[in-house]
Structure 1
Amino acid sequence: MSDVDDQAVPIDQAEARSMLPFLLAAGILVLVVIGIVIATLMSPAEKNLTDSGQLAVAARNFIQSRSAGGALDPTVVCKGFDDNRSPLKTAVEGGPKLDIVGLADPKIDGDRATAAVTFRADSHDTTATWNFTRADTTWLVCNS
């Protein structure tokens, strides 16, 4: 009793297989990744923000540098910034943790701007008008 399923089927392995399709796919993947990296470097996400968004980032950076009595970071303020006239002066004196709540009513006039910034210190919200100046492409917190 011989059955057809029991017979060995010869396999022709004389045909050489190529790595070319795999190498082409890998090459295309590398080109796509390089394209994404170049696009990210040419247009970083922070440059895609509106002026209002950039002002909010400047306010957040300033508040974070002063949170819990931290030292003033000179890269987030204008040249000649007077810490005694800081918009956070009364909040920083107690050394609480500070958080930005929001930024409203930005008014931009060239490289100068004002906005109502609300921040929280010890569960108490305070809103004040802050002054900003644009230096190159970055907004900085100023006294006036």
Structure 2
Amino acid sequence: MAAERAPEPDPDETDRSSATPFLAALAIIVVLVVGVFVAQLVSPSDSSTSGTELVVRTVDDYVRAHNAGDAPAQDRLRCDGLPADRAPLAGVDGEVQLEGVENVETDGDRGTADVRARFDGNEQTATWQFVRIDDVWRVCTF
């Protein structure tokens, strides 16, 4: 018994492959692009972040840089006129635990905040001063 061969395709018959998978993929891509666009419109940007939030972020970054021993990062977060030996956490060895940033007040390009931190087994609160330079809040004195 000979095996039956499949019928040869008719050269005059058009290809009947469906466009449905391609249209479905296109619809998914359009939905994703629209979703990303809408998310960008409704999500807050850094430009809408309040001065208070940016000051708190600067304090957090400064303490993290101290804990990592990253002096260049601390230098970037300080004003040029504030030497390292007069800056917050100067002379503090070891880990600093940031307990809170309170009473943040900003007025134009200047601000202050009470920074509560724990180091050397004690909790201390100090008022830090900030100046906004090129839209970046930096630890300063004024």
1:116 to 77, 93, 114: 114
Q: Which residue of 2 aligns with 1:80?
A: 81
Is 1:18 matched with 2:16? no
Q: Which residue of 1 aligns with 2:53?
A: 53
TM-score w.r.t. length of structure 2: 0.71
Structure 1 residues 30 and 68, CA, compared in 2 at 3 Å: closer, same or farther?
closer
Maintained 8 Å contact 2:115/2:125: yes
TM-score w.r.t. length of structure 1: 0.70
Distance in 2 between the 1:98 and 1:84 partners?
17
* Unmatched tracts of structure 1, length 5 or more: 1-14
Structure 1 residues 28 and 131, CA, compared in 2 at 3 Å: closer, same or farther?
same
Maintained 8 Å contact 1:85/1:143: no
SS in 1 for 2:71: coil
Distance in 2 between the 1:27 and 1:136 partners?
39
SS in 2 for 1:81: coil
Distance in 2 between the 1:69 and 1:22 partners?
53
Moved over 6 A (4+): none
Q: Which residue of 2 aligns with 1:96?
A: 94
Maintained 8 Å contact 2:99/2:118: yes
Distance in 2 between the 1:28 and 1:109 partners?
45
The alignment of Structure 1 onto Structure 2 pairs a total of residues equal to 125
Q: Which residue of 1 aligns with 2:66?
A: 66
Shift of 1:103: 1.0
Distance in 1 between the 2:82 and 2:70 partners?
16
1:22 counterpart letter in structure 2:
A
Maintained 8 Å contact 1:68/1:98: no
Distance in 2 between the 1:16 and 1:63 partners?
63
Q: Which residue of 2 aligns with 1:105?
A: 103
Structure 1 residues 88 and 114, CA, compared in 2 at 3 Å: closer, same or farther?
same
Over aligned residue pairs, what C-alpha RMSD do you find?
A: 2.8
Shift of 1:43: 5.6
